[in-house]
Amino acid sequence: MTEHDIPISQPSALPSAGPSAGPADAADVIIVGAGPAGSTTAFYCAQAGIDVLVLEKSRFPREKVCGDGLTPRAVKALVGMGISVGEQDGWVRNKGLRVIGAGKRMELAWPELASYPGYGLVRGRTDLDQTLARRAEKAGARLQEGVTVTGPVLDERTGRIIGVTARPDGEGERAYHARVIVAADGNSSRLSVAMGLRKRDDRPLGVAVRTYYQTPRHDDDYLESWLDLWDGDRLLPGYGWIFGMGDGTSNVGLGLLNTSAAFGHTDYHALLRRWLNGMPAEWGFVEENRTQPIRGAALPMGFNRTPCYYNGLLLAGDAGGLVNPFNGEGIAYAMESGEILARTIVQALARARRAETERVLAGYPQALSDAYGGYYALGRQFVKLIGRPGLMRFATRHSMSRPALMRFALKLLANLTDPRGDAADRLVNGLTKLAPNPE
Ligand SMILES: Cc1cc2nc3c(=O)[nH]c(=O)nc-3n(C[C@H](O)[C@H](O)[C@H](O)COP(=O)(O)OP(=O)(O)OC[C@H]3O[C@@H](n4cnc5c(N)ncnc54)[C@H](O)[C@@H]3O)c2cc1C
């Protein structure tokens, strides 16, 4: 019998040193982080009868810095989890995207497709993330809130992750063990870093800041995006947004890409204020109406951390750098990658022998690449191009007077096509297939 022939019906042996673990500290799958990626992974695993333990450092309801905008892709992911997204449940619907740039404004309805609903949503992350976490719990996942994961527990002989150390609020550090460990701990993913998986310098990264203002614009039925972010006479690669929350406030923010020379030495708060100074006074985007601090965070894009499976650790959502490089959307991709990962885990754990389980788990990066590889490769080229201010200015001016071109751009930038749709869908799908897609 080789080491690969050992049946794996039990969690791996405890490490010889380190904190002790009790039976409540073991599971088939441990997921670190209960954001959209972690809760979706947990939901689909639990639904298939797998024993899942989710460790989350905060306690719900909790804030998360975000634009709170959900495209039809995210709506589809929510609907797939059986979440009721009616307006009576607190969701604010939108019909599409209003784009403002080069002195023009254009309303673009979400495309009519078989694959995605024709509307988007806005929902504060305090509510959204709690809803997703509770949905996972209802499906049978065990969620422990107020538990901060501090590092991996490694098999001394192989270096493979077989558990995590964690500190529940007000208690000492202890170990938790599982057959499979998932890092869904967001952009900084300390667990991935502890396993030697760092962000890639050759992949795009964004930085975004946001806040909330009391405003009459709070019940807008379009997501609004401003392409004109200026640094002196330079047009910056990024955009500003105004998303009505439907509660008297709007989420207002902006994001920039690291392909710009301005990246890294931009004062984002000042940029936000400068941009808002140019808005009509009656919208009320002034200090007295600001209801929250201005907060920011990084957006890891286009497979910013690879590989997504390494030494027993599987990465989902921002931990794997899965934000869409075209538009900075991350929630849908966190949820979709969570579903892809859960389906991989369910199949892997159904295999009788370790080597077979390993083979299935090792297929996860390929499954992600099948889903996003070509599209994200194209996105990485796009990000490089719009990092050139002259080109960005030309593209904005040129496209804002061409509605058909902008409708095509919406499909491309929001990744909303049918496999066998209209000519625009086929063009986007074709470009995606042609894009060179290195690891
Ligand atoms: C300013 C801004 C605006 C954005 N706007 C949008 C938008 O409008 N639409 C959109 O789709 N995306 C947007 N994004 C991106 C989106 O927020 C992320 O892509 C998304 O939250 C990723 O989900 P996740 O589950 O991978 O990670 P997260 O949402 O970051 O969740 C990670 C979870 O892990 C927990 N955690 C972390 N470390 C530990 C630990 N050591 N132990 C235990 N738990 C831990 C955290 O508390 C958190 O709950 C925006 C991002 C920013 C910064």
Residue nearest to atom 6 of ligand 1 (CA): 67
Q: Is the CB of 351 under 6 A from ligand 1?
A: no
* 220-265 per-position pLDDT tens digit: 999 999 998 887 787 888 999 999 999 999 999 999 988 777 777 7
**297 CA: nearest ligand 1 atom:** 53
pLDDT digits (tens, 9 = 90+) for 378-413: 999 999 988 887 888 888 889 999 999 999 999 999
> What atom in ligand 1 is closest to the CA of residue 323?
19
Strand arrangement of the beta sheet that strand 238-244 belongs to: 104-109, 96-101, 223-226, 238-244, 249-257, 205-214, 295-300
Q: Give the pLDDT confidence score for residue 388 in this predicted structure.
A: 83
CB distance 300 to 321 below 8 Å? yes
Q: Is the CB of 184 under 6 A from ligand 1?
A: yes
Of 149, 132, 150, the residue nearest 141 (C-alpha): 132
For the record, the structure tokens of 411 come out as: 């499909």
Q: Which atom of ligand 1 is nearest to the CA of 74?
A: 11
- Ligand 1 centre distance from Cα of residue 349 (Å): 27
Phi, psi of 209 (to 5 degrees): -125, 150
Q: At what angle do helices 125-138 and 36-47 cross, to 10 degrees?
A: 20
Distances (CA, A) of 147 to 127, 143, 278: 20, 10, 44
Distance 238 CA to ligand 1 centre (A): 19
What average pLDDT does range 9-30 have in this prediction? 55
Query: What's the CA gap between 113 and 11, in Å, rounded?
Result: 45
Tell me the CA–centroid distance for residue 394 and ligand 1, in Å.
33
193 lines ligand 1 (CB under 6 A): no
Tokens 């892809």, residue located: 340
How many CA within 13 A on the CB side of residue 88? 1
* CA 35–ligand 1 middle distance (angstroms): 6
Give 436 Cα–ligand 1 centroid separation in angstroms.
29
Return mean pLDDT, the chain.
92
Residue nearest to atom 39 of ligand 1 (CA): 185
**pTM assigned to the model:** 0.94
Ligand 1 centroid to Cα of residue 184, in Å, is 9
Mutate to test the pocket of ligand 1, among 57, 123, 308 (most ligand atoms within 8 A of CB): 57
* Span from the CA of 389 to the centroid of ligand 1 (angstroms): 29
Report the pLDDT averaged over residues 279-289: 96
Q: Is the C-beta atom of 120 inside 6 A of ligand 1?
A: no
- Which atom of ligand 1 is nearest to 207's Cα? 53
Mean pLDDT value of segment 55-63:
98
Measured in residues, the chain has a length of 439
Closest Cα to residue 48, out of 315, 332, 341?
341
Whether 194 lines ligand 1, by a CB cut-off of 6 Å, is no
Predicted confidence (pLDDT) at residue 17 exceeds the cutoff of 90: no
69 CB near ligand 1 (under 6 Å):
yes
- Asked if residues 20 and 160 have their Cβ atoms less than 8 Å apart, the reply is no
Among positive and negative, which fits the CA dihedral 321, 48, 87, 144? negative
More confident residue, 122 or 23: 122
Measuring CA to CA, which residue among 322, 428, 336 is closest to residue 376? 322
Taking only the tens place, the pLDDT of each residue in 130-150 is 999 999 999 999 999 999 999
Is the CB of residue 77 less than 8 Å from the CB of residue 43? Answer: no
Judge whether residue 5 has pLDDT over 70.
no
- Summarised one tens digit per residue, pLDDT across range 297-354 is 999 999 999 999 999 999 999 999 999 999 999 999 999 999 999 999 999 999 999 9
Q: Is the CB of 240 under 6 A from ligand 1?
A: no
- Beta-strand pair 238-244/249-257: antiparallel
At 23 the pLDDT is 55
43, 54, 123, 318: residue to mutate for ligand 1 pocket, most atoms within 8 A of CB = 318
Antiparallel, parallel or unpaired: β 205-214 and 295-300: antiparallel
Please give the pLDDT value at position 174: 96
Q: Which amino acid is at 61?
A: P
Q: Is the pLDDT of residue 111 over 90?
A: yes
Per-residue pLDDT at 438: 66
Three-state SS for the chain is CCHHHCECCCCCCCCCCCCCCCHHHEEEEEEECCCHHHHHHHHHHHHCCCCEEEEECCCCCCCCCCCCEECHHHHHHHHHCCCCCCHHHCCEEECEEEEEECCEEEEEECCCCCCCCCCEEECCHHHHHHHHHHHHHHCCCEEEECEEEEEEEECCCCCCEEEEEEEECCCCCEEEEEEEEEECCCCCCHHHHHCCCCCCCCCCEEEEEEEEEECHHHHCCCEEEECCCEECCEECCEEEEEEECCCCEEEEEEEEECCCCCCCCCCHHHHHHHHHHCCCHHHCCCHHHECCCCEEEEEEECCCCCCCEECCEEECHHHHCCECCCCCCCHHHHHHHHHHHHHHHHHHHCCCEHHHHHHHHCCHHHHHHHHHHHHHHHHHHHHHHHCCHHHHHHHHHHHCCCHHHHHHHHHHHHCCCCCCCCHHHHHHHHHHHHCCCCC
Decide: 336 in ligand 1 pocket, CB within 6 A: no
The answer to whether residues 317 and 333 touch, using CB atoms and an 8 Å cutoff, is yes
Closest Cα to atom 27 of ligand 1: 186
**Would you say residue 4 has pLDDT above 90?**
no
For ligand 1, atom 21, the nearest C-alpha belongs to 331
